[in-house]
Amino acid sequence: MRPRTLLPPAWRIVSVLGLAGLAACSAVPPPAPPAEAPRPVAQVNLAEQTLTRAIRAAGQRPPNLARARSLLEGLLAADDPNARALHPYARALLEQLSERQRLSTLNERLTEQLERSTAALEESEQRSAALQRKLDALAEIERSLAPRGPAPQR
C-alpha cells in the first residue's frame, strides 16, 4: 500500500499559479505604441498608388508608355515628402521608359527599312528572272538558226 501525502498533485499547483499569473498580467495596461511622427497616410498612399499605376501601365501588353511617363512625371513634380521619397524609383523607371521608347522607335524604323529592303530584293529577283528568260530565249533563237556555210571568199 502506498502512503498518502497531504500535498495536492503538482499539476494543480502549476495550473493555479499559471491562472494567477494571467490574472495579474491582465490588470496591466498594454504598452503605448512607439512615438513616431504622424504620417499623412493619404499622401503616402497616393504617391505609392501613382507609382504602382505607372508600373502597371508600363507592364501592360501592349505597354501604355505615354501614360506611365505622364504618371511618373507627375510624381516627380510633386513636392511633398512622401512623393520625394519615391523620386529615385520614379527617375529610374522614367529612364527605363525612355530607353524602351527609344528602342521601340528604333525597332519600328528598322522594321520599315527591312520591309523596304525585302520589297527591293523581290523586285530585283523578278527583274533578274525576266532578264534570264530573255537571255535563254535569245540563246534558243541562236541555236535554232541554221548554221551558215563558210563565208564566200573574194
Tell me what pLDDT residue 148 has.
Answer: 67
pTM of the model: 0.53
Tell me what pLDDT residue 25 has.
Answer: 53
From first CA to last CA, the distance across the chain in angstroms is: 161
Tell me what pLDDT residue 115 has.
Answer: 98
Tell me what pLDDT residue 15 has.
Answer: 57
pLDDT along the chain (154 residues), means of 10: 53 53 54 56 75 88 87 91 91 93 95 98 98 96 79 68
Q: Cβ distance 65 to 101 under 8 Å?
A: yes
Tell me what pLDDT residue 89 has.
Answer: 93
Q: What is the rounded distance in angstroms from the CA atom of residue 70 to the CA atom of residue 65?
A: 9
